[in-house]
Amino acid sequence: MGSSNSPAEAGGVAVDVDHALMAALARDGRASYTDLAERVGLSVSAVHQRVRRLEQRGLITGYRATLDAKQLGLPLTAFVSITPSDAQTDDAPALLAHLDAIEECHAVAGVESYILKVRVASPDALEVLLKEIRSAANVTTRTTVVLSTPYEARPPL
């Protein structure tokens, strides 16, 4: 039984290599195949094939730029919990999709039905947005304003 120096050759390490590739890309979506190959100990062409397979399997769903909301003039972040006023109709996500200030919409268990992450320019803009949300989706709202964000958008790997 021989020993192996390459992560790709060790028994059962294929999943570990894929995880290492996904973790590296989650932290830096612009990493080159050369950099990725050096990190996982494979050839550039092997890394390219693995990344392509991870994309095809739906494990890597895309690449995006991370924008600085403060620099874009949107320094105020809030979480808005919403509850439909009419329990019979629950189409709030579709009714709110046109509001660009809503960055995320999560269906949740508990008193509220959804939690929205919003970014706006000011408290006045938040007040306007809350009125728009209530009107557009016929919901009640409960809002929590973010004071600071020690970290966000952490990759799951």
Q: Which tokens hold the place of 18?
A: 């894929």
Fold for domain 14-56? Arc Repressor Mutant, subunit A (1.10.10)
Please state, in angstroms and rounded to a whole number, the distance separating the CA atoms of residues 128 and 114: 19
At 66-125, the pLDDT tens digits run 899 999 999 999 999 999 988 767 899 999 999 999 999 999 999 999 999 999 999 999
Assess contact for 133 and 116: CB atoms under 8 A: yes
Domain ranges of the chain: 14-56, 76-145
User: What's the CATH number of domain 76-145, 3.30.70.920, 2.40.50.1020, 3.40.190.10, 3.40.50.2300?
Assistant: 3.30.70.920
pTM: 0.81
- The residue assigned the tokens 């790997």 is 157
- Helix (H) / strand (E) element for 82: namely strand 76-84
